[in-house]
Amino acid sequence: MRALPLRVLVADDHRLFRQGLISLMNTRRDLVEVIGEAETGREAITLVERCRPDVVLMDIKMPDVDGLQAAVHIRRSFPAVDVIMLTASELNEHVYEAVRLGAAGYLLKSLDAVELFDLLQAVAADEAVLTRAVAARLLRDIGDSGGVGGEIGGEALTEREIEVLNLVAHGASNPQIAGSLCITVNTVKVHLRNILSKLQVENRTQAAALAVQSGLIQPPS
């Protein structure tokens, strides 16, 4: 669980959108502290090095260095910083690439304020975040096409871990998983840590994508 407020860097080349997003987040200073803004991917990398935010909200299409390239650098150099793509792009290739690169989330700019703040709460709870529509489409497409990544190997998942992973694939938060399985949230977190370790992936979205691709669980309908 990250300490609140989350220290957030906003990276987007559209000044009006960037300033509007910052103004919106300033209404929830209990949850978010905006510590900087960047207009290019290269500027985002520089500010991450200087300010060490908890979270970067990153557009994909930016000049100089695009958001996905910047995410690679940030994830490699500063693994404690969560990069969340916040973009207008609904291209499957962008979603796949963001998940493959270990982005902590993929959000569309069409989401509303309540959903944004709910998802930032999930980030604070160390949960990868995608809007449910994006997650469902991503996992369906991976199930249909083979998606990204390889076969599941290594240590086998337990029956309970598969149950947890199936709920993750259907968009359940940690408290929702705990309620569904009649276990504590801390137990859910233990199962998720074990799942990530066994599958050798960085976050729950990657784990769900790999499990769907391998046929271990069924994609959301």
Domains of the chain: which residue ranges? 6-130, 149-214
Class for the domain spanning 149-214: mainly alpha
Give just the sign of the alpha carbon dihedral 121, 123, 124, 126. positive
pLDDT at 161: 92
CB 175 within 8 A of CB 71: no
The reported pTM is: 0.76
Residue-by-residue pLDDT tens, the chain, 221 positions: 788 999 999 999 999 999 999 999 999 999 999 999 999 999 999 999 999 999 999 999 998 899 999 999 999 999 999 999 998 887 878 887 887 787 888 888 988 999 899 889 888 887 767 666 676 667 766 656 554 444 455 578 899 999 998 888 877 888 889 999 999 999 999 999 999 998 888 888 788 878 877 778 877 66
Question: What pLDDT score was predicted for residue 151?
Answer: 46
- Helix or strand (DSSP H, E) at 125: none
Three-state DSSP at 191 gives helix
Q: Are strands 82-87 and 129-130 parallel, antiparallel or unpaired?
A: unpaired
**Fold matches, 6-130 and 149-214:** no
Name the CATH architecture for the domain at 6-130.
3-Layer(aba) Sandwich (3.40)
CA angle 202, 207, 212 (to 5 degrees): 155
